[in-house]
């Protein structure tokens, strides 16, 4: 028997799928803005140790990285919900399936041909991350959406609850690359004569997150009070599950928390430090639990910052590529002026960093604010352009 909060709506008659759901746009815009902070930190203030390393990181550095953990799962989850809404507007499962197939393959191509070169300049590899995972998730969902809803619920539950029990494949070769792509933690795949591939986002766990978003899509056709109640109940259940499983260190994350010699506060940070690569069950519970609560709060907000976030959330891909261009291109220019040569600090091993380089979170936060401000007006223009036109290609950008 499926949990009541995942059941199809029965308590109130569904209304037609809205053209836009403000809560989805606002929350998506919020995580996109926060996402830029992580990318800026990578290029303008990387450290020789992981920022989540509670044995070395400061509180500010830890939370500068930790807050960005909410971005990818929320974005992928909302992609799934948006797919369900688009399917209702199209009125055809077949049309939706064909669109998902072509859009997914376009996103995979964009990761390989556009995004990776922007990020990896000066370093000979191809990074495969969130756009790659979303693209393959759409390709797979193009077929899966034909299955009955109970089967999809079972599949999503199996992926989200069970993938942490799977062993990591080591070493990864061409012969076992497919199962590694479906589950592994980050790995380098060599397929000569191509450059090495750094697979940061395995496909399977992120497909589970997208499926979960697709399955709650019907909630956004409910009257607002019923939708709010379901979102808050589901969010609370996920956060309680996170707290119980994390406290026991029994299951759900490969990195157990531990008491820290630096004091109780850093023990708390250890408790919060869950694994993103691949997203563990506890990572999903924490991030999606918060996301569901935010979705329950954002629908009727009208203050100006919410309208700004809504603008970003309505043009996600149009925001994504230019924000990477600004960050990566800005880092190229900054390092060339500051150190006499362009250095990709995000990918270059730390022993090869310029001797004059020092991490500076103030620099990172200043660049982050500049990037977000510079992108607002182009995104606002494109939002209006999409609203006024119905060209087919606008669905892909």
Residue 19: the pLDDT is: 65
Residue 7: the pLDDT is: 45
Residue 17: the pLDDT is: 53
| Tokens linked to 394 | 């606008």
3-state secondary structure of 126: strand
**Overall domain count for the chain:** 1
- Summarize pLDDT for 208-217 with one digit per residue, the tens: 999 999 999 9
Residue 20: the pLDDT is: 82
Range of the domain at 127: 4-396
- Summarize pLDDT for 309-349 with one digit per residue, the tens: 999 999 999 999 999 999 999 999 999 999 999 999 998 99
Asked whether the CA dihedral 146, 148, 153, 158 is positive or negative, the reply is negative
* Interatomic CA distance for residues 342 and 349, integer angstroms: 14
Bridge partners, 197 (sequence order): 126, 189
| Tokens linked to 369 | 């604010």
| Tokens linked to 224 | 């607002």
User: Which residues in the chain land under pLDDT 70?
Assistant: 1-19
Q: Is 166 exposed, middle or buried (0-12, 13-18, 19+ CB in 10 A)?
A: middle
Residue 16: the pLDDT is: 53
Residue 92: the pLDDT is: 87
């Amino acid at each position: 028997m499926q949990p009541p909060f995942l059941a199809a709506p029965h308590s109130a008659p569904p209304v037609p799928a809205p053209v836009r759901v403000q809560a989805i746009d606002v929350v998506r815009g919020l995580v996109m803005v926060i996402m830029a902070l992580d990318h800026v930190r990578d290029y303008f203030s990387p450290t020789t140790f992981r920022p989540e390393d509670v044995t070395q990181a400061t509180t500010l550095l830890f939370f500068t990285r930790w807050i960005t953990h909410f971005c990818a799962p929320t974005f992928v989850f909302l992609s799934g919900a948006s797919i369900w809404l688009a399917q209702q507007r199209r009125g055809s499962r077949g049309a939706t399936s064909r669109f998902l197939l072509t859009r997914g393959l376009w996103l995979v191509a964009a990761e390989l041909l556009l995004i990776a070169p922007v990020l990896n300049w000066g370093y000979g590899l191809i990074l495969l991350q969130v756009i790659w995972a979303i693209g393959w998730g759409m390709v797979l969902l193009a077929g899966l959406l034909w299955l009955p809803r109970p089967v999809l619920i079972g599949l999503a539950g199996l992926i989200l609850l069970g993938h942490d029990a799977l062993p990591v494949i080591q070493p990864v070769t061409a012969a076992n690359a497919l199962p590694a792509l479906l589950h592994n933690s980050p790995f380098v795949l060599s397929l000569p004569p191509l450059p090495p591939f750094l697979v940061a986002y395995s496909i399977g766990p992120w497909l589970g997150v997208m499926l979960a978003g697709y399955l709650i899509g019907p909630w956004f056709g409910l009257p607002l009070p019923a939708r709010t109640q379901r979102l808050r109940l589901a969010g609370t259940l996920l956060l309680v599950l996170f707290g119980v499983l994390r406290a026991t260190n029994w299951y759900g994350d490969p990195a157990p928390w531990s008491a820290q010699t630096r004091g109780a506060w850093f023990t708390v940070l250890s408790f919060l430090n869950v694994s993103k690569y691949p997203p563990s069950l506890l990572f999903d519970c924490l991030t999606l639990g918060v996301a569901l609560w935010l979705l329950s709060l954002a629908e009727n907000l009208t203050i100006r910052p919410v309208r700004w976030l809504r603008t970003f959330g309505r043009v996600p891909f149009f925001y994504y590529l230019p924000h990477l261009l600004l960050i990566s291109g800005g880092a190229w220019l900054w390092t060339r002026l500051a150190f006499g040569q362009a250095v990709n600090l995000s990918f270059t091993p730390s022993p090869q960093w310029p001797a004059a380089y020092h991490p500076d979170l103030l620099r990172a936060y200043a660049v982050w604010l500049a990037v977000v401000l510079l992108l607002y007006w182009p995104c606002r223009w494109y939002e209006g352009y999409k609203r006024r036109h119905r060209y087919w290609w606008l669905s892909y950008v």
